[in-house]
Amino acid sequence: MRRKTLLLAVSLAVLMCLSITTLPQAQEAGPAKEEAKRVGEAPREESKTAQDAPPRADRPLPTTGATQEPKAGGPPEPQVARAYDEVIQLTLEDAVRMALENNLDLKVTYLDDDISKRELIVAKAVFDPFFNLGASFAKNRDPSASFLDVSQGQGVSVSPSETLTYSAGLSGKWLAGTTYEVRLAQLERDRPRVNPTFTLLNPVTTTEAFIAARQPLLKGAWFGVNSADIRIAENNSRFSREQVELSAMQTVFEVEQSYWALVFASQNLEAKIKAYQVTNENLENVRIRKAVGTLAAIDVTTAESQAALRRVELEEALQLRETSRDRILQLINYSKGRSLKEHWEAGSKLGTFERVMINCTTPPSSDELPATRDVALSTAFQRRPEYRQLELNVDNQQIRIEVAKNQMLPSLDLLGRWAQLGLEDGFQKSYNEFDSGRYYDWEVGIEFSVPLTNRGPRAIYRNARDQLRKLTLNKNELENLIVLEVDQAIRKIEFLRRKVVDLEERVRLQEDLLRAEYRKVSVGMSIAYTVSVIENDLVENQTQALRAKADLQFAKAELLRAMGTLFDRFRITVDSPKSP
């Protein structure tokens, strides 16, 4: 009996000692000392009681990528940190600038823009004049039975000749549809005097100045039709320019999205590391108290389950940060202009991004909405590149309809020709006769033609008209989409602002609830399972709050993109590089 009494006294003494160590410290220091340590946040010096939060043990986290040796009877420590060869302090503006300079998709768009500019040159080159210069020599031995070539008797004689020709000229087409040709030619023919009686000049030299033109009056006539390809090419060049801006805007948007995703992933990892530390410290305390008989085995099981959950969350957070880092490094093309395959084959450290660490240094923006709904919509229809592209496509199709309609007309062409001639037995004499103006030819006329069936041009015209109807429907659809995107972005920003406030308040209340539950456990009025449920809710709410803050930055970027003003915030001017 005395032995049992002694054991009971010893147990009570141990219990009192443990209670003393877990009682809250004096609360007179002010409200700051009453705050419980937030799970996922660094502990404060003023609040280290067992009731407010589990005590923190100062032990280092794993710092290498190697697999950690498991504790006795437990799983291995998670790989929290790695050894990095390069740490980058990156602002959002720097990330955007690097992406615009190095992004591979954007470089492809720049090349397309250069190609489109050259297509405009090709369309204009159709009206460039051509200069023609030629010379030829011909020698002929033609059979002849003409009495002019046969001096005596009858039969077949040879009529030999040698001809030397020079010519130079210009030809081309004007925007009115006029085709023209200007030519100056000189021909010298030398014939042996087979019959001197009838051969007055030998050699014979002919000089000719020739001008001819043809002007369509109906089909293919005038500026509107003949400049169609140039106007379409100009619109295509502007379209390509808008495509460069659209691609650049998409790149900036993806960079900003990835940047804030990395900010969230980094903050989330820090929160999960601290939560993991707190859970492990709590597990150690629970095991100690179980050893002295103040807690049941089920409480140890609950604490171990919590530690396992925190390990899983920590590994997931680490994986999310690594993936977010890879994405932003890919967008800014951090592989230094070479593919990752080339770096890998060369044995470079840049063959993988796992050795690179990014610290995001731009704080989240607290700006108000960029504009009211009316201003946002008005700006969007003026600034959205894809909307301007669609308007250019509509303009191009109207030009094609104009051309197709013209091609259904009959051909009615006005033509004219004038030639000045000179004929003598030498070059100089021929030119002298040419200057005299005594010999000339001229001709004017009109030519009409119409196809017996016009079904081909009519079908082309109808197809062009239907294509315009399709583009009009596409334009209506895009207008609806722009309005919806602006409205949804505005609503999303307003919703996320309320969500951030509500989640931060919920985190605060969950901290109070967890603090109170820790007090209950310390005096035996609650169980570890209840604490674990509240703790899990708190960790989840903290993650949701961090995610909501990142989503708020996404939503602001989405509104700027929907308005077409995403560049204004970064003062970006997109210029396509000059290409030869």
pLDDT band, residue 158 (cuts 50/70/90): low
Residues 331 and 245 in one domain: yes
Average pLDDT value for residue range 531-535? 84
Residues 272 and 373 in one domain: yes
Going by C-alpha positions, the residue among 92, 96, 245, 99 that lies closest to residue 553 is 92
**pLDDT, position 90:** 86
Residues 241 and 166 in one domain: no
Range of the domain at 555: 86-114+230-395+464-570
| 361 lies in some domain | yes
Judge whether residue 417 has pLDDT over 80: yes
In angstroms, the CA 277 to CA 313 distance is 12
| 224 lies in some domain | no
Q: Which residue has the tokens 């190697």?
A: 66
- Tokens matching residue 335: 């592989």
**pLDDT, position 239:** 86
Q: Percentage of the chain surpassing pLDDT 90?
A: 9
pLDDT band, residue 334 (cuts 50/70/90): confident
Going by C-alpha positions, the residue among 322, 249, 255 that lies closest to residue 554 is 255
| 252, HSE (Cβ side, Cα atoms, 13 Å) | 26
| 204 lies in some domain | yes
| Neighbour-count burial for 44-66, b at 16+ CB within 10 Å, e otherwise | eeebebbbbbbbbeeeeeeeeee
For residue 276, the tally of other CB atoms under 10 A from its CB is 27
**pLDDT, position 37:** 37
Residues 296 and 348 in one domain: yes
pLDDT band, residue 57 (cuts 50/70/90): very low
In angstroms, the CA 224 to CA 256 distance is 46
Looking at residue 478, which CATH number applies to its domain? 1.20.1600.10
Residue 195, burial from CB neighbour count under 10 angstroms (0-12, 13-18, 19+): middle
Give me the amino acid identity at 227: S
Angle among Cα 119, 121, 125 to the nearest 5 degrees reads 115
Is-contact 76 196, C-beta < 8 A?
Answer: no
- Tokens matching residue 529: 């399972």
| 72 lies in some domain | no
DSSP letter, residue 353: G
pLDDT band, residue 331 (cuts 50/70/90): confident
Average pLDDT value for residue range 61-73? 41
| 440, HSE (Cβ side, Cα atoms, 13 Å) | 11
**pLDDT, position 87:** 82
In angstroms, the CA 565 to CA 570 distance is 10
In angstroms, the CA 367 to CA 171 distance is 65
Q: Which residue has the tokens 């997931």?
A: 316
Residues 505 and 562 in one domain: yes
Residues 381 and 498 in one domain: yes
Q: Residue 196 contacts by C-beta under 8 Å, 6 or more apart in sequence? A: 151
**pLDDT, position 574:** 65
Q: Residue 534 contacts by C-beta under 8 Å, 6 or more apart in sequence? A: 510, 513, 514, 517
| 90 lies in some domain | yes
- The total domain count for the chain is 2
Containing 283, the helix (H) or strand (E) segment is helix 228-291
In angstroms, the CA 448 to CA 80 distance is 87
- Tokens matching residue 302: 């609950």
**pLDDT, position 144:** 59
- Averaged pLDDT score across all residues of the chain: 76
Q: Which long-range contacts (CB under 8 A, 24 or more apart) does 75-84 make?
A: 75/308, 75/311, 78/276, 78/311, 78/314, 78/315, 78/318, 79/315, 79/318, 80/273, 80/276, 80/314, 80/318, 82/354, 82/357, 83/355, 84/355, 84/356, 84/357
- Tokens matching residue 436: 């005299």
User: Looking at 3-7, 181-185, 191-195, which range is the least confident one?
Assistant: 3-7
Residues 378 and 521 in one domain: yes
Residues 248 and 212 in one domain: no
Q: Percentage of the chain surpassing pLDDT 70?
A: 72
In angstroms, the CA 306 to CA 316 distance is 15
Residues 205 and 100 in one domain: no
Q: Residue 479 contacts by C-beta under 8 Å, 6 or more apart in sequence? A: 381, 387
Residues 143 and 196 in one domain: yes
In angstroms, the CA 265 to CA 159 distance is 98
User: What is 72-106 written as a DSSP string?
Assistant: TTSPPPP------SEEEEE-HHHHHHHHHHH-HHH
Average pLDDT value for residue range 488-497? 90
Judge whether residue 281 has pLDDT over 60: yes
Residues 422 and 468 in one domain: no
User: Looking at 112-121, 150-159, 407-416, 515-524, which range is the least confident one?
Assistant: 150-159
121 — phi, psi (to 5°)?
A: -65, -40
The strands making up 439-449's β-sheet, listed across from edge to edge, are: 130-144, 157-173, 179-190, 204-216, 411-424, 439-449
Judge whether residue 41 has pLDDT over 50: no
| Helices and strands, counts by H and E, the chain | 13, 8
| 7 lies in some domain | no
| 74 lies in some domain | no
Judge whether residue 23 has pLDDT over 60: no
Is-contact 424 430, C-beta < 8 A?
Answer: yes
Q: Which long-range contacts (CB under 8 A, 24 or more apart) does 155-159 make?
A: 157/194, 158/194, 159/191, 159/194
Is-contact 333 103, C-beta < 8 A?
Answer: yes
| 580 lies in some domain | no
* Separation in Å, CA 544 to CA 182, 491, 499, 551: 80, 19, 9, 10
pLDDT in tens, 425-459: 666 666 666 667 677 788 889 989 988 888 888 89
Judge whether residue 66 has pLDDT over 70: no
Average pLDDT value for residue range 490-496? 90
pLDDT in tens, 465-487: 999 999 999 999 999 999 999 99
Residues 303 and 426 in one domain: no
- Tokens matching residue 315: 């590994």
Going by C-alpha positions, the residue among 198, 185, 192, 201 that lies closest to residue 139 is 192
pLDDT band, residue 117 (cuts 50/70/90): confident
